[in-house]
Amino acid sequence: MTGKTRILLGVTGGIAAYKSPDLVRRLRERGADVQVVMTAAAQRFVTPMSFQAVSGRPTRSDLWDSAAEAAMGHIELARWAEMVLIAPASADFIARLAGGRADDLLATLCLATEAPITLAPAMNRIMWANKATQANVSTLISRGVRILGPGAGDQACGEVGAGRMWEPIELAASLLEPPINAGLLAGLNVLITAGPTRERLDPVRYLTNRSSGKMGFAVAEAAREAGAHVTLVSGPVHLQTPTGVTRINVESARDMYAAVHRHIAEADVFIAAAAVADFQPVTVAKQKIKKQGVSVKLDLEPAPDIVRSVADMAKRPFVVGFAAETDHVEEHARSKLKRKKLDMIAANEVGDGIAFDCDDNALTVLWPGGKLEIARAPKLDIARALVALIAERLPPPDGSPRRGARKRRPTPPADPRARLRSRRIRR
């Protein structure tokens, strides 16, 4: 055992493969143990011997290598890896990975591993912009695959635009350096809600909304990166659970309310990112409601107000709400902050092409006496900035809690605010 981070570097066919031996060197400089796996197309650009020389390990490329496969070598490699980085990731490989193909060693390893997978795309700008490629990338992101790049600039084909693989030093730093919010919530318990709820009308129909859950899942990932123990209560979504996060699946607002109150006593921070239904049917039909050519009247009643119920607790955690608004965003958010007695609220504009089903977002974060604008960026970056702000606003562990707040555990590993003093949240 070397104690080094074990990285499986996949190299696919593309002119950017010439950068990959330098990438191996950069990863090893940061203390990584690197095993290179090449596709057949990659060997048209760089030789396996080049990677063996810089990695100190024989390069693997053949799924049907009789010597390696005698001991199920591809499974052994899949279990060995702590991280998988594909650099460069060609359009062809991205398509094969999105389709779940296992037609060569590298694709098979990606299916067989439980390690997080990161792609560094590299291709012609038109190939990158093609709707098929973008759909494949979106599919992979929804499965938890991380995408680094591509960058923009001059390309080998003579064109200029997005499609360049990030430089090796940039990739190595992004992969191995801790995130900006590392340790800010170390040892704390964070309870998060995410996604929509479904309120049943009959056995086949329900009321819901357009929330994809991506923002809430990003907040869960960012809180876990910050060192928290994270429990995520999620409505019906098609998203992969962030690594290290405990997930509880629910359907209705009542279900989510019950799940939250089963776990709230242990929470130091509660973040209500779910788009919970405001109303639910008074009664649920036992049989499918038949279409009879006339209008149907639905009797609705208020659904449980989960964030308000937590904020009203005598001993409560630090409470963060979300406000998705179509107009007068800050005005409505300020009203909700005061009305529901929240410690903080994150507000954003929603609508067609804004926030819903998107991979980026922008927030206006408000708290009593303060405000911060977090500019549009990928949702994970937005979530990291929000988590950093929450850590800054938490009362000190040995100080007097704010009125109505739950006193934090007496011996957390460190004061999260102390770690943040030298950092600034990027706007």
Q: What is the DSSP letter of 341?
A: T
How many helices and strands (H and E) does the chain possess? 15, 19
Tokens of 12: 């696919």
Q: Which residue has the tokens 């940061």?
A: 30
20 and 87 in contact (C-beta within 8 Å)? yes
| DSSP E strands, 217-268 | 229-234, 246-249
- Closest-CA residue to 376 (of 337, 336, 349): 349
Radius of gyration of the chain (CA): 24
**Which amino acid is it at 409?**
R
Answer positive or negative: Cα dihedral of 234, 236, 237, 240.
positive
The answer to whether residue 358 is catalytic is no
Q: Pick the catalytic residue from 152, 157, 204, 265.
A: 157
268 and 190 in contact (C-beta within 8 Å)? yes
Q: Burial code of 349-365, b = ≥16 C-beta within 10 A, e = fewer? A: bbeeebbbeebebebbb
- Closest-CA residue to 281 (of 203, 336, 213): 203
Task: Give the residue numbers marked as catalytic.
Answer: 157
